[in-house]
Structure 1
Amino acid sequence: MQFIKYLFCGGITFVVDVAVFYLMAWLLLPSLREGDPFGMVIGVFGWKIGAVPEEVLLRNFVINKVVAFLASNTAAYVTNAMFVFQGGRHQRFKEVGLFYLFSTISFVVFTWLSRLLISQFGWQVSWSYFFVFACAMVTNFTMRKKFVFKG
C-alpha cells in the first residue's frame, strides 16, 4: 500500500517536474530537438520547437532540470511527509536535509546519465527524460524508506 501511495504522490511530483521542465525547455531556455516527441504534441496546436546548437541544448537542459528538480522535490517532500512515510526517525531539520541530500545525489547521477544518452547515444530529450525519471523514482523510494523516514 505504501508504494501505491508513493506512486500517486510521485504522479503529483511528476506533473510538477514535467510542467516546469517542458515550459522552460520550450519557451525560456530551449533544450529540445526538432523531432522530439514533445514537439509532435505541441505541433498539433501549430506550435514549433526552435532549433538550437547541441552545446546550447545540453547547457539549457541542465539548467531546466535544476529548476524543475527544485520545484518537484519540494512537492515530493511535502507529499511524502504527509501521505507516504512516517516521520520521526530524525528531527525535522535533519529529515529535510537528508531528503534533499539523497534527492540531489540521485538528481546529479541521473542528469549525468540523461546527458550521456542525449549526447552520446542520440536519444531524444523526452525519451531520456522519462527513462531516468523512472529510474530515479525507484532509487528515491528506496533511499527515503531506508534512510530518511521511519518507514
Structure 2
Amino acid sequence: MANLLSSLSSFLQNKESIHAQFFKYLICGGLTFVVDVGVFYLMAWIVLPSLREGDPFGMIIGVLGGQIRIVPEDILLRNFVINKIVAFLSSNTVAYITNVLFVFNDGRHQKFKEVVMFYVLSTTSFVFFTLLSRFLIARYDWQVTWAYFFVFTCAMMTNFTMRKKFVFKG
C-alpha cells in the first residue's frame, strides 16, 4: 500500500510526463468546470435569464421547485454571452492558478507575459467557442445546456494543447 501511495504521489507531482499532465489537467479542469458551470447557471437563472423552458437545467430547477424567467430570444442570446463572459473570467482565473500549481512547469516566459499569453489564448478560444455555441443555439435550436457542454469539451482539448505548446514550459 505504501508503494502504491508513493507511486501515485510521484505520478501526480510529475510535471514532465504528458500523461501525468493530461490527467492532472482533467482534474483541474473538473474544478474549473464546476466554477464555470456554477457561475454561468446561477447567472442564467437568477441574474440575466438565458434559459428556455425545455432546457435540461431549467427542468432541474423546476423539479426543485424553482422557476426560470422566459425572455425573448434576442435577450436570451445577449444574456447568454454576458453570462459566459462572467463565468469565463471566474473559471479562467481558477484554471491559471491550478495549471501553474499542479499541471505545467512555468518559466517559458516571464510571469507577466505568461499570464497575458494564458488569457489571450484562453480569450481567443472563448470567443470562438462562444460564437459557435451561440450559432448552435440560434441556427440549429440547440438547448443552451447541450451547446454549453459541447463547446466546453472542445475548448478544454484546445486549451490543453495551446497552453502546453505556447504558454508553459513542457
Out of 121, 127, 137, the position equivalent to 1:102 is 121
Match of 1:117 in 2: 136
1:141 counterpart = 2:166:
no
> Which residues of structure 1 form unaligned runs of 5+?
none
Match of 1:55 in 2: 74
**CA-based RMSD:** 0.5
Percent identity of paired positions between Structure 1 and Structure 2? 74
Match of 2:16 in 1: none
**Deviation sequence 1:108-144 (CA, Å, 0-9, x none):** 0000000000000000000000000000000000000
SS of the residue corresponding to residue 94 of structure 2 reads helix
Match of 2:13 in 1: none
Match of 2:61 in 1: 42
Out of 82, 91, 103, the position equivalent to 1:72 is 91
Match of 1:130 in 2: 149
After superposition, residues 13-24 of structure 1 pair within 5 angstroms as 13-24=32-43
Moved runs in structure 1, 4+ residues, more than 4 A? none
- Measured after TM superposition, the shift of residue 49 of structure 1 is 1.3
- Measured after TM superposition, the shift of residue 19 of structure 1 is 0.4
TM-score, normalised to structure 2, is 0.88
Q: Distance in 1 between matches of 2:135 and 2:96?
A: 28
**Which shows bigger deviation, 35-44 or 84-93?**
35-44
Q: Distance in 2 between matches of 1:6 and 1:132?
A: 17
**Deviation sequence 1:72-105 (CA, Å, 0-9, x none):** 0000000000000000100000000000000000
SS of the residue corresponding to residue 120 of structure 1 reads helix
TM-score, normalised to structure 1, is 0.99
- Measured after TM superposition, the shift of residue 46 of structure 1 is 1.1
- Measured after TM superposition, the shift of residue 42 of structure 1 is 1.4
> Which residues of structure 2 form unaligned runs of 5+?
1-19
The structure having more radius of gyration, on CA atoms, is 2
